[in-house]
Structure 1
Amino acid sequence: MYKIEKDIVSKVDKILGEEVDRIDKQLSIKDEVREKIIRITREIIRDSSNCVSNIHLGRIDEAKQLLDSLRDKVVELKNIVRDHPDLYYSGTIYNALSEYVECLSLYSIIMGEGVPRLSELDIPIPPYLQGLGDLVGELRRIALEMLRNDRVDEALVLLDLMETIYYKLRSLHYPDALTPGLRHKVDVARRIIEDTKALIIDIANRRKLERTLKEYIGKT
């Protein structure tokens, strides 16, 4: 039978006293970093949303100004978490970065530049893919505006673009642990595309019917 020494309490007390003090200091630093992350990610999400709104309203100069500010804030975020990679790869940061990707991609598309590359953004893969997935919904909004202004051909181009993004994202067959949220966004994108396609086809057919009727009436 083993024997419990009397001095074990003092030994454990000494060890834990030193370790808990060290842990407390480390966690205090991380907590300060976490608070900074919460602040900057909220600003990134807010400014990204405002940037997208400005794009839809045709306020391109205002959108560009917000994007310039957003780039600085993303750099600031990276600097904040440089020594804390365990905090960088988190849902809070992923959400903010995905909003940034969506905003920047939408702006790049309307400027005729395509979409930014992952290497250019220097961010983790998940928020890059998530942002592209959300981009499909914003492209639909622009396509609907095109339809309201009788710009069917441009709406069709946007539909083709939406499908291109969808098929590229759908080709990535990896578990949710590697691409969190991607499968859901791909499913949502598919439904958005189907609804948009049905609407565009319906309007295009109506336009064709109207032209046919006008030609017929003109001949009678």
Structure 2
Amino acid sequence: MHLTVGDDGLARPVWAATDPLLRDYYDTEWGMPVRDERGLFERLSLEAFQSGLSWATILRKRPAFRAAFAGFDPDAVARFGDDDVARLMGDAGIVRNRRKIDATIGNARATVRLRDDGGLAALIWSFQPASTPMPRSFADVPTSSPESVALSKELKRRGFAHVGPTTMFALMEAVGIVDTHLIGSHRRGSSGVWAADGSRAEAA
């Protein structure tokens, strides 16, 4: 079973059907377009921290992440120094991974530099594909794409770290650049970016 109908009569994937936190995230946030710099920097950062962990773990820690990383304000995080790294490594509310912490600070600095060349949002959204997947089961959902590979390479060229093709595809799913809601889900086509049939509903 890939979709399950809740007590509200709405069909969701199994992963979003039981945990109230995941259900709310699925119903209100996942796959909806994010086009602002801070929002994209936050989600890029959280996707990097999620690598090797469950998304539920990251979602539960998101308030602590926001507090620890100055609300994911790129200018503030770009100014973090050794004392901030030590503070973050001592913060039990977040994922205390030195490489990921260093990458987040470096990515904030890269985000600030990108403003002279169109900005983070323009760069990420420029990799929106011409069509989106039409998955009927979890097996049909890709874990990367030519666009996520290209986005990964471009971000690395711009000085970003922990932005591999799989992580970037997860980011593209989360912020509406692709729609991988299963066919039959009540959220399919809800972003305003993609029609239910996989065609573009609007220009990026």
TM-score band by shorter chain is under 0.3
TM superposition score normalised by structure 1: 0.25
Task: State which structure, 1 or 2, has the greater radius of gyration over its C-alpha atoms.
Answer: 1
Higher-RCO chain (CA-CA 8 Å, sequence separation at least 6): 2
TM superposition score normalised by structure 2: 0.26
The structure with more helix, counted as a fraction of residues: 1
